[in-house]
């Protein structure tokens, strides 16, 4: 399609979509809770469609939530019981998601840093920007649908985590500094799309990463100075194992035998490409 | 006199939430959770307290509810509704004691109707009662720090009564290590030369004159930092409603201005979002349009154009020559002899096409009997129009192809005047050359302005060729009236200009090879030799 055709199509879409966007009025909902004596918390955040942001809350707050939503389709959720926190929206009318460039539904959730938590993020469609830096995570589950999602662990998790699970639907998903999660095992299940996993960060112990990918491209970024072992079982998938040496059935980083920290990556993929990159 | 460390702990605890409710506890109750919803028809507030029942107030589509009980009604947009929404707008950005204080201080507007005024008074009382410390069942007495000096109490009271300043302070100390911090409220602080303060220093409503060293960060809220010669801050400097005067001192960390104004915050947020989206957009474009990606796309477009040229030249041209060779030559002759007239007719025809189509349809409808022919009109008219444009374009292309044949370019000896298939194809390629060259230039990624220029010129050329061809088709009635191809009957000023094919009135080009004339090329019979 030529540029002119693209411009005309965009103009047409804009003309058609403009009245709908104008007609949409979003309700705002703000909730926060002071930090108490929480020792352990299971946090569940569910969000359908729109812009989704997760970060850390200011000192003294257990959580802070700012939501803009379509009240005809959703109802806000901010439920707290000792040990349980559920934030986000619940759908009250199916098939009624409206999104416009002018007035986009939005959820921003900020969580306390010092509270040990099991975090579950369930995000449908739209754009997500999640920064888990500094949160005290004991367990992590991230589920995204058709989304453009960015996950960052900008600061190390002070707690150890047995398993982090990332489920990606049809999405453009990128995760940065996953080493900061301090997880023994990271599992990534991706359907269709572009997935970028940056495994840099502060690895405090050896980690195992398993990636199960359907159709799409996968980029893995490893930190230099950490031994990497890559085992792949692929079908019609091109692999650019840059900087890795094949030994037997697996690829190894040249310094595998010398490094104190090791990352073992197990990939199952079909129809796509796998690219290995190294971060200094 | 308590030690500085003790004072700092006391104040920091207060500033971060513990002391605020305690200090304000004599007046307000501790709020642990708030939920505020504002929409088209609703404006609600729900508060939870450390002890006791929550408070819920809801303006919902004309109805006022207090703890899920309807206590009155209001009109949307009236004074009470507006005042309530304003209160919630303020409450969104407040926490702890400042929130409780603001809610307690709220008074309903005076200009409300009788029944509404009663509901408003009940709301006011409910807020007062719920937020009073005495409302808390078995509320413990607020802790009074033993030995706290009177001036510190005054300072704290001053801070508690100024929620805005507290919020500024809250933002400024967000990233501060609170384990080692000194806090000074309402007083100037001086760090003498040679003196070192371990830990951070917070000064509220006062100045800090620094000639020594602070081994930590500095937070100034509502004051100034005088960084004199020898003064040194090993951490960051956070300023809120404050200024910094440097006179030789140094800050090893960053100096940041913490702004509280909500408008600024919103603007910053929007600006950051725009920046982030732009960065992502650019990154995405760079990712998807890297050098290889761009080259691949341009190569794809170039191949598409070449394919289009081949389809147009071979299939379109071949079909047109096979089925309407004579008509095409008549059209080409008309265009050659009177290009200006043909172009003018083509332009007029283009403008009149739509009216003619509509009027023709209306005429068929009016005649009643013609209604039967209307579907054919609706289908055949656009088809005929397209055919006219294509045949006209190809006829011009054939003329151009003949010109190419006469130039005897090396490697182009397969283009012969006697073979209209080759001339049509060569003409289509020649007319599309600008587009091909433009894409080849884009393929190499430089001289883009030349590519754009070629696109523009090529688009103009294509329009002109199409209009001339279309006009020639109209003039010759689709190539069926060779007489119209004779420009002499029209008095065309271009007649003096010999055309490519000469002035032969015959619409049909000779198919047999012709010896080149002795006169210069461009003469009336300038036909090149055609080697079979």
User: Taking CB atoms and an 8 Å cutoff, what residues of chain B touch A80?
Assistant: 33
Query: Looking at this predicted complex, what is its ipTM?
Result: 0.79
Q: Would you call A30 and B16 a contact, using CB atoms and an 8 Å cutoff?
A: no
Choose among B96, B170, B276: nearest Cβ to A34.
B96
**Which residues are CB-contacts of B102 (< 8 A; sequence separation ≥ 6)?**
B87, B90, B91, B94, B163
A30/B95 Cβ within 8 A: no
Residue A88 C-alpha, separation from nearest chain B C-alpha, in angstroms: 13
Phi, psi of B157 (to 5 degrees): -60, -40
Whole-angstrom Cα distance, residue B266 to residue B284? 26
Angle between helices B150-160 and B163-172 (to 10 degrees): 100
pLDDT (tens, 9 = 90+) of chain A, 280 residues, equals 444 444 444 444 444 344 444 445 788 999 999 888 788 899 999 998 889 999 999 888 899 999 998 888 888 999 999 889 999 998 876 544 454 445 688 999 999 988 999 999 998 888 899 999 989 999 999 998 877 899 999 999 998 899 999 998 877 899 999 999 999 999 999 888 889 999 999 998 999 999 998 888 899 999 988 999 999 888 777 788 888 888 888 899 999 999 999 999 999 987 778 888 888 7
Instruction: Say which residue the tokens 């095409």 belong to.
Output: B328
Using the Cβ of A28 and the Cβ atoms of chain B, whether some distance falls under 8 Å is answered with yes
CA dist B419 to A156, A278, B325, B527, Å?
77, 62, 11, 13
Which tokens sit at B427?
């003409």
Q: How many CB atoms lie within 10 A of CB B463?
A: 14
Instruction: Tell me if A28 and B174 make a contact (CB, 8 A cut-off).
Output: no
The total of other beta-carbon atoms located within 10 Å of residue B487's CB is 24
* Residue in B closest to A150 by C-alpha: B280
A60 touches chain B (CB under 8 A): yes
Contact A59 B16 (CB under 8 A): yes
Residue of chain A with shortest Cα separation from B17: A60
Judged by a CB distance cut-off of 8 A, whether residue B292 touches chain A is: no
Q: Give the length of chain B.
A: 532
Nearest to A76 among B31, B37, B178 (CB): B37
Secondary structure of B485-529 in HEC code, one letter for each residue: HCHHHHCCHHHHCCCCCCCCCCCCCCCCCCCCCCCCCCCCCCCCC
**Containing H/E element for A173?**
strand A161-176
In what helix (H) or strand (E) does residue B245 lie, and over which residues does it extend?
Answer: strand B243-246
CA distance B96 to B102: 10
Q: Which one of B33, B38, B40 has the shortest CB-CB distance to A34?
A: B33
Which chain A residues are within 8 Å of B96, Cβ to Cβ? 34, 60
Are B485 and B330 within 8 A, CB to CB?
A: yes
For B224, counting Cβ atoms within 10 Å of its Cβ (0-12 exposed, 13-18 middle, 19+ buried), the class is middle
Kindly identify which residue of chain A lies nearest to residue B305, measuring between CA atoms: A2
Q: Does A52 touch chain B (CB under 8 A)?
A: no
Interface size A-B, in CB pairs within 8 Å, comes to: 59
Closest to A138 in 3D by CA, of A117, A168, A115, A165: A117
Question: Alpha-carbon distance B405 to B384, whole Å?
Answer: 31
Contact flag B40-A61 (C-beta cutoff 8 Å): no
Nearest Cα neighbor of A199 from A233, A159, A228 is A228
- The contacts of residue B72 (CB under 8 Å, 6+ apart) are B63, B64, B115, B116, B118, B119, B120, B122
Nearest to A50 by CA among A69, A23, A63: A69
pLDDT score at A267: 92
Does the CB of A61 have a partner CB in chain B at under 8 Å? yes
Q: What distance in Å separates the CA atoms of residue B63 and residue B71, rounded to the nearest whole number? A: 8
- A136-140 long-range contacts (CB < 8 A, ≥24 apart) are A137/A161, A137/A164, A137/A181, A138/A40, A138/A162, A139/A163, A139/A164, A140/A164, A140/A165, A140/A181, A140/A183
Chain A: give the shortest CA distance to residue B222, in Å: 21
| A141: Cβ contacts below 8 Å, ≥ 6 apart | A119, A120, A121, A164, A165, A167
Place of tokens 């307690």: B104
Q: Are A48 and A75 in contact (CB under 8 A)?
A: no
Taking CB atoms within 8 Å and a gap of at least 24, the contacts of A20-23 are A20/A98, A20/A100, A21/A100, A21/A101, A21/A102, A21/A103, A22/A100, A22/A102
Contact flag A34-B35 (C-beta cutoff 8 Å): no
Interchain proximity B16–A78, CB inside 8 Å: no
| Cα–Cα–Cα angle for A116, A122, A123, rounded to 5 degrees | 130
Given a contact cutoff of 8 angstroms between Cβ atoms, the answer to whether B460 and B467 are in contact is no
**3 state SS of B483:** helix
Sign of CA dihedral A254, A256, A259, A264: positive
Cβ of B179 under 8 Å from any chain A Cβ?
no
A83 backbone dihedrals φ, ψ, rounded to 5°? 90, -10
- Within an 8 Å CB–CB cutoff, is residue A103 touching chain B? no
**pLDDT tens for each residue of A217-271:** 899 999 988 999 999 888 777 788 888 888 888 899 999 999 999 999 999 987 7
CA B221/CA B174 separation, integer angstroms: 13
* Residues B433/B438/B442/B446 CA torsion (nearest 10 deg): 120
Point out the residues of chain B with pLDDT beneath 50.
1-8, 10, 12-14, 16-26, 138-151, 262, 487-532
Selected residues 154-173 of chain B with any CB under 8 Å from a CB in chain A: 170-171
| Structure-block tokens of residue A171 | 């999405």
Using CA coordinates, name the residue in chain B closest to A67: B37
Tokens of B421: 């298939």
User: Could you tell me which chain A residue has the CA closest to the CA of B35?
Assistant: A31
> In B, which residues are within 8 Å of A106 by CB distance?
none
Cβ neighbours of B92 in A, within 8 Å: 30
**Does A76 lie at the interface with B, CB-CB under 8 angstroms?**
yes
Q: What is the pLDDT of residue B139?
A: 43
Token code pair at residue B314: 């071979």
According to DSSP, the β-strands at A245-247 and A250-252 are antiparallel
Q: How far is B217 from B252, CA to CA, in rounded Å?
A: 10
Q: Which of A235, A191, A241, A240 is nearest to A216 (CA)?
A: A191
- In chain B, the residue whose alpha carbon lies closest to the alpha carbon of A57 is B174
Number of Cβ within a 10 Å radius of residue B395: 32
User: Which residue from B minimizes the CA distance to A149?
Assistant: B280
pLDDT computed for residue A94 by the predictor: 53
B174: nearest CB among A59, A76, A78: A59
* Surface of B (74-113) touching A: CB under 8 A: 92, 95-96
B17 in reach of chain A (CB within 8 A): yes
- What is residue B110's predicted lDDT score, i.e. its pLDDT? 77
């Amino acid at each position: 399609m030529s540029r002119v055709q693209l411009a005309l199509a965009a103009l047409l879409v804009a003309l058609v979509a403009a009245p709908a966007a104008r007609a949409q009025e979003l309700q705002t909902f703000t909730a926060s809770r002071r930090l108490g004596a929480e020792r352990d918390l299971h946090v569940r955040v569910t969000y359908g469609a729109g812009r989704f942001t997760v970060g850390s809350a200011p000192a003294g707050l257990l959580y802070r939530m700012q939501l803009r939503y379509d009240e005809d389709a959703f109802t806000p959720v901010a439920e707290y019981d000792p040990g349980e926190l559920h934030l986000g929206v619940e759908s009250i009318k199916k098939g009624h998601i409206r999104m416009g460039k002018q007035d986009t539904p939005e959820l921003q959730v900020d969580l306390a840093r010092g509270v040990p938590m099991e975090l579950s993020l369930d995000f449908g469609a739209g754009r997500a920007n999640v920064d888990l830096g500094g949160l005290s995570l004991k367990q992590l589950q991230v589920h995204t649908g058709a989304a453009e999602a960015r996950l960052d662990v900008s600061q190390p998790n002070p707690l150890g985590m047995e398993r982090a699970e990332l489920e990606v639907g049809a999405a453009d998903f990128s995760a940065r500094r996953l080493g900061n999660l301090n997880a023994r095992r990271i599992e990534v299940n991706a359907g269709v799309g572009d997935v970028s996993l940056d495994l840099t960060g502060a690895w405090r112990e050896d980690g195992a990463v398993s990636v199960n990918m359907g159709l799409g491209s996968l980029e893995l970024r490893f930190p230099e100075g950490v031994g990497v072992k890559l085992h792949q079982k692929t079908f019609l998938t091109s692999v650019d194992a840059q900087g890795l040496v094949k030994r037997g059935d697996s690829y190894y980083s040249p310094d595998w035998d010398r490094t104190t920290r090791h990352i073992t990556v197990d990939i199952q993929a079909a129809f796509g490409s796998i690219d290995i990159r190294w971060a200094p | 006199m308590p030690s500085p460390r003790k004072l700092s702990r006391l104040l920091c605890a207060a500033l971060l939430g513990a002391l605020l409710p305690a200090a304000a506890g004599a007046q307000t109750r501790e709020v642990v959770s708030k939920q505020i919803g504002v929409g088209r028809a609703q404006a609600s507030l729900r508060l939870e307290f450390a002890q006791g029942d929550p408070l819920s107030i809801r303006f919902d589509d004309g109805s006022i509810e207090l703890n899920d009980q309807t206590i009155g009604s209001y009109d949307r947009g009236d004074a009470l509704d507006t005042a309530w929404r304003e209160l919630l707008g303020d409450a969104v950005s407040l926490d702890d004691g400042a929130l409780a204080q603001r809610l307690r201080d709220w008074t309903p507007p005076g200009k409300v109707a009788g029944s509404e005024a009663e509901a408003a008074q009940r709301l006011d009382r409910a807020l007062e009662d719920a937020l009073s410390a005495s409302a808390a069942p078995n509320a413990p007495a607020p802790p009074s720090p033993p030995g706290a000096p009177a001036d510190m109490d005054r300072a704290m009271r001053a801070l508690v009564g100024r929620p805005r300043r507290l919020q500024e302070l809250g933002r400024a100390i967000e990233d501060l290590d609170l384990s080692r911090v000194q806090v000074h409220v309402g007083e100037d602080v001086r760090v003498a030369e040679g003196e070192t303060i371990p830990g951070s220093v917070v000064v509220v409503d006062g100045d800090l004159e620094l000639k020594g060293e602070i081994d930590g960060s500095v937070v100034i809220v509502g004051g100034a930092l005088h960084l004199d010669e020898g003064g040194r801050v090993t951490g960051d400097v956070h300023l809120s409603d404050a200024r910094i005067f440097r006179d030789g001192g140094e800050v090893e960390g960053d100096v940041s201005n913490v702004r509280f104004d909500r408008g600024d915050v919103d603007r910053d947020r929007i600006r950051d979002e725009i920046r982030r989206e732009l960065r992502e957009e650019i990154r995405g474009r760079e990712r998807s349009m890297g050098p290889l990606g761009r080259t691949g796309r341009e190569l794809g477009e170039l191949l598409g154009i070449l394919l289009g040229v081949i389809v147009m030249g071979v299939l379109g041209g071949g079909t047109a020559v096979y089925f309407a060779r004579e008509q095409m030559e008549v059209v080409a002759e008309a265009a050659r002899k009177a290009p200006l007239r043909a172009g003018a007719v083509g332009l007029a025809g283009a403008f009149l096409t739509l009216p003619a189509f509509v009027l023709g349809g209306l005429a068929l409808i009016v005649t009643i009997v013609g209604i039967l022919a209307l579907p054919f009109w609706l289908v055949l008219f656009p088809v005929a129009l397209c055919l006219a444009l294509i045949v006209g374009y190809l006829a011009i292309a054939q003329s151009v192809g003949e010109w190419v044949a006469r130039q005897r370019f090396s490697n182009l000896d397969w283009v012969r005047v006697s073979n209209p298939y080759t001339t049509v194809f060569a003409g289509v390629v020649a007319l599309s050359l600008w587009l091909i060259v433009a894409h080849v230039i884009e393929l190499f990624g430089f001289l883009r302005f030349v590519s754009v220029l070629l696109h523009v010129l090529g688009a103009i050329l294509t329009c002109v060729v199409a209009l001339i061809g279309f006009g020639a088709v109209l003039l010759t009635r689709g190539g069926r009236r060779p007489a119209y191809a004779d420009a002499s009957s029209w008095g065309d000023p271009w007649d003096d200009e010999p055309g490519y094919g000469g002035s032969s009135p015959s619409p049909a080009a000779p198919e047999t090879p012709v010896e080149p004339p002795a006169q210069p090329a461009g003469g009336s019979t300038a036909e090149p030799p055609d080697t079979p």
